[in-house]
Structure 1
Amino acid sequence: MKYITFLSIYLLTLSQIYCQYPSKQAEFSTANIGGENYSVIKLSNFNKKLKAKYFAAKDQNNNSVYKRYLGWQMNKNVICYSSGTYMDNYNIDLAKPVGLCIDQGRIVNRGLILNKFDGLVIAYPSGRITVHNLKSKTMQIDKGDGKMTNYNLSNNFERIQFMNWAQEQEVTVFQTHLFCYKNQFFSNIDNSKTAGRRFLAAGTNSDGEFKQYIINLSSANTLLDASRKAINYLKSFEELSEIDFLINLDPGAQDVFGAYNSAGQRVIKSGFQGTLDISKSLNLIVYYVD
């Protein structure tokens, strides 16, 4: 019995050491502004080691997102994770992402909903994440070899070329709501339903530093109202001179959210935890250091 207790403490200590990362990598803050509670994770690419990973769906062997995550995270220092884009079903055995979706080069869904989800997110194997505006039609993509190319996804031929490139490079691609892009705010959003909201944003502050943010709003807000609040927060309190993008992370019926501080301890403050356990994940975006 003493041996088991000692082993448990030893493994816990190991896991905390293993999960440590530089404190400059992530800052956790809460604020009440105008009656709204903001829970914010500010992510910095300290030592150029911050990375993002997206699990879009079950893999070809029918392994769940959670099982895939468990196998992947063994040698990673996880900072935070959240449910990502919308799914067509909340049954974990049947759910598939809406819109165009490619998972590590494997096509999950060929559908493209240009008129509803204008944000196209690309997660590269290197851990870099970029967001593109489908409204612009032509997207400039870093092909990974130092060369840039343009794709117009409304053109069938160029769309096939893009998907071939995504398969070859084993990138992950998904669609979601895009609320702000290059400082341009989009307001053509359904403004009827209210719920808690969560966003992923990125931008450059007044010191010229590029930061990424996960912003969680606990109050029931429409998408339009919540996105306006998030943009105001970024400009007024984070002093972003340019918002590169602001996209939706769906905290609805698939509300998975969790974070770890630099000591490897779970952040248990209100606003940094979802209503569902990570084992219920239908998709998952993860920020980490390896």
Structure 2
Amino acid sequence: MKKINFILILGIVFLCSFISISNYDSKFVEISSVSEKGYTYNVVYMNRGGSKNRIKAKYFASPANSSVPQRFLNFSENKNMIMVSSAGYMDNYGVPVGLTIDNGKLVNKNLGSTDGLIIVYPTGGIVATDIEKGDLTLQGGGITPGRKFDIRNSWTDRNDFIKWAQSQEATVFQTHLLVYKDKLSIATNAEPTKRERRFLAVGKDKSSGDLCHAILNLPEYTSLYDGTFRAKKFLNDTGNMEITFMINLDTGYQDVCFLYNKDASINNLIHGQRSLDYAVNLLAYYYE
């Protein structure tokens, strides 16, 4: 444990040396900790800023010309960083699990068993689909409007989807889809192991209609289903959020997570147990 903590401290120092001191606008980012009925909910609530889309996401999954941690460090220099976290799963060989495309570069062409397919656009937006339904639709890249892609059961659809992602320089990864269209989409017996949980929810504010993203960390150990159930209820009720989708963020072996205050200092309200160099993939949020 002491060794891991020492590595974590070194990682934080190394990370901070690359981060700009410029600020994000706190009216678009709210960091809070709420206790309800004996449970703690640590939340980073991000309003994308209407048509301006001030909050943007970036996903790293390919070593490319340097490692994923180094790519993130290079990217984050002079950026107004909000948060970075491990996201998708990895196998025993350190390869991202499931279909993975990084900015148009094919990393893993094999479709995984998880139902959530996440697309991160170059513009910084994120969308998700349930690939078990076979009704994924796309725009641009010569795709016929209204065409539905069943990438689970059709090799042609999967191949055409990969070509589209490459042509659009899109980023794609798989993970568990926990909530879809504001309804639970997880089985009650899903992963009973109890551990700290971290989720990403995307939806809209019920009052303003603004598009919002929320990263919710549950520090008390819980099963995946129980954590999902409580997180959805909290975001619906206390967070006043209608959830378009919610996905699981990996808190296993590559539990990497850093949260930044508006002055670029580290906020330890939400943090991982591993140093940056453990990351095989990273989901980063920044303000522009």
User: What band does the TM-score fall into relative to the shorter chain?
Assistant: 0.7 to 0.9
State the AA in 1 paired with 2:62: A
* Deviation for aligned residue 1:180: 0.7
For the residue of structure 2 that corresponds to 1:287, the secondary structure is: strand
Tell me the distance in 2 between the aligned counterparts of 1:150 and 1:75: 40
Rounded to whole Å, the distance in 2 between the matches of 1:222 and 1:23 is 33
Partner of 1:54: 59
CA distance in 2, matches of 1:109, 1:84: 15
Q: Which residue is equivalent to 1:4?
A: none
1:2-17 map, 5 Å: 15-16=20-21
Whole-angstrom distance in 1 between the partners of 2:264 and 2:257? 16
1:287 aligns with 2:288: no
Q: How does 1:1-290 map to 2 (within 5 A)?
A: 15-16=20-21, 18=22, 20-46=23-49, 47-59=52-64, 61=65, 63-89=66-92, 94-113=93-112, 116-143=113-140, 149-153=147-151, 154-188=153-187, 190-207=190-207, 208-240=209-241, 242-269=242-269, 272-290=270-288
**Aligned residue identity for 1:23:** S
Is contact 1:99-1:111 (8 Å) kept? Answer: yes
Secondary structure of 1:139's counterpart equals coil
Q: Partners of 1:143 and 1:179 in 2: how far apart?
A: 28
CA deviations over 1:26-76 (Å, ceiling 9, x no partner): 1001012122111100011124221100001322x3x21111111112232
> Shift in Å at residue 144 of structure 1?
6.8
Matched residue SS, 2:248:
strand
Q: How far 1:143 moved relative to its partner?
A: 2.9
Q: Give 1:142 deviation, angstroms.
A: 3.0
Q: Give the % identical residues.
A: 36
Distance 1:33 1:112, change over 3 A: same
The answer to whether the Cα contact below 8 Å between 1:196 and 1:252 also exists between their aligned partners in 2 is no
Q: Highest CA radius of gyration, 1 or 2?
A: 1
> How far is the alpha carbon of 1:145 from its aligned partner?
8.4
Deviation at 1:161, TM superposition (A): 0.6
- In 2, are the aligned partners of 1:57 and 1:96 still within 8 Å (CA)? no
The answer to whether the Cα contact below 8 Å between 1:142 and 1:149 also exists between their aligned partners in 2 is no
What is the DSSP-based 3-state SS (H/G/I as helix, E as strand, rest coil) of the residue aligned with 1:135? coil
The whole-number CA distance in structure 2 between the counterparts of 1:149 and 1:289 is 34
Instruction: List gaps (5 residues or longer) in structure 1.
Output: 1-10
Please list the CA deviations of residues 185-210 of structure 1 after superposition, one character each: whole Å capped at 9, or x if unmatched.
12325242111100000112221222
Structure 2 unaligned runs (5+)? 1-15
Give structure 1 regions of 4+ aligned residues with deviation exceeding 4 angstroms.
Answer: 144-149
Cα deviation digits, residues 200-259 of structure 1 (max 9, x gap) = 00112221222110000011111001000110101110122x310010001111111111
The AA in structure 2 aligned to 1:151 is F
Find the aligned partners of 1:263 and 1:283 in 2 and give their Cα distance. 25
How many residues align structurally? 266
TM-score (norm 2): 0.87
